[in-house]
Amino acid sequence: MEPSHIANSRRPAWDTGEQRPPRVPTLKEVAREAGVSTSAVSFALNNRPGVSDATRRRVIAVAERLGRRTGPGGGPAPADERSRAIGMVLARPAGSLGVEAFFLQVVSGIQAGLAPHDHALVFQMVDDIEAECDLYRRWWAEGRVDGVIVVDPRVSDPRPEVLATLRMPAVVVGAMEAPGTARPGNAPHPMTVYGRRARLSNLWADDAGAMELIIQHLYELGHRRIAHMAGPPGLAHTARRIAALRSTARRLGLDHTVSVTTDFSDHQGVRAARRLLSGPMRPTALICHNEVMAVAAAGVASERGLRIPQDVSVVSWEDSAICRTFHPRITALSREPGAFGHRAATEVLSLLAGSEPRCLQDPLPQLEPRESSARPAEGDATVPEQRTAS
């Protein structure tokens, strides 16, 4: 699939009706003239290993003869010859893209951060992480993007190491976990984890702290049987939220907590809610990964003849217009996904300008209590509990 461009509407700064600057020859044109691949041209012009000294000299000579300026020794192309594009790859099923309002608002915020600087967002969906890594290598070799914004950090994620090896400017959106560390806040700087060559920043949110907010809210209402409809297994934030639920439950002495993983969708939300609400130790509260699953859970509760919030409370990890207009209105974590995306765009542009990589923590979201969460019906909080593996 060819990437689609989400481009800004501003015309280039030089487009004022005056004569345009000379066209810069493409990597393919240089490659054709030099008799090498476009990857070899990119390696040569960006002074990276992968080609012989003789090939590097030949490519640089051809590029300069055709009018493509290079830095000393064939170093990185000057700023005015960059692609002026930032890449983002999503390794998810295509049908999941429109499910979450949060992700679309993050993308909108990224574009809003890039547009004033005349950078476009190049977006592409792939089947898996291996294909995503291959795409980064191809984009970088062909000069298609100046940097990337990486989403959905994985457990044992291979992407940061690939990006560090390429020396590709990148911002990872979502907490990265360094080997042997329990929380992102305790992790060494990405530069020290993946080698000093890395040009990798990390914009992360405190999933553990957010989970503690939700559990504390439900605990104070009197809930002792809490279930978590989580996101896909393998995602780092899914693992962190499940771990935070367990640790907070232990601290509060909750003997019955359970997490069920899903794929973000309403279909699996319905399936998970039916499983949880049909058991002998029905939870009195459900924590849902997003607003779509929260509404799905509410629908299952209704088909079971359960009242919200008297029989079961529902909390959404993401807030949206759905949570605010559904009846009853859904308690949710409130944050600003557009601002989150804007910060990611600002950070990747800062890396392009030569700033040092860094770790940035997003503000902890606030919990907005609404009508979907309340004290459980009398007697529910004191039903004899049985320990269930989380």
Q: What is the pLDDT of residue 8?
A: 40
Q: What is the DSSP letter of 157?
A: -
Confidence of residue 26 (pLDDT cuts 50, 70, 90): confident
Three-class secondary structure of residue 178 per DSSP: coil
Q: Is the pLDDT of residue 197 over 70?
A: no
Spatial contact of 95 and 263, defined as CB atoms under 8 Å apart? no
H or E segment and range at residue 203 = strand 200-204
Confidence of residue 347 (pLDDT cuts 50, 70, 90): very high
Q: What is the pLDDT of residue 383?
A: 39
- What pTM was estimated for this model as a whole? 0.75
Which residue carries 């992790």 as its tokens? 187
* Tens digits of residue pLDDT in 71-108: 544 444 455 556 889 999 999 876 666 667 888 999 99
Strands (E) across 47-195 are located at 85-90, 120-125, 147-150, 170-173
CATH architecture of 25-81: Orthogonal Bundle (1.10)
Q: What is the DSSP letter of 369?
A: -
Q: What is the pLDDT of residue 191?
A: 52
* Tens digits of residue pLDDT in 222-241: 999 999 999 999 999 999 99
> How many CB atoms sit inside 10 A of residue 16's CB?
9
Summary mean pLDDT of the chain: 83
Nearest to 201 by CA among 387, 355, 8, 7: 355
Confidence of residue 177 (pLDDT cuts 50, 70, 90): low
Judge: domain 85-204+337-364, CATH 3.40.50.2300. yes
* Tens digits of residue pLDDT in 247-304: 999 999 998 999 999 988 899 999 999 999 998 889 999 999 999 999 999 999 999 9
First and final CA of the chain: distance in angstroms? 40
Q: Is the pLDDT of residue 386 over 70?
A: no
Q: Domain 207-330+370-382: state its class.
A: alpha beta
Domain regions of the chain by residue span: 25-81, 85-204+337-364, 207-330+370-382
Matching CATH topology for 85-204+337-364 and 207-330+370-382?
Answer: yes
Rounded CA-CA distance 14/84 in Å is: 14
* Tens digits of residue pLDDT in 129-169: 999 999 999 898 778 899 999 999 999 999 999 998 888 99
Three-class secondary structure of residue 225 per DSSP: strand
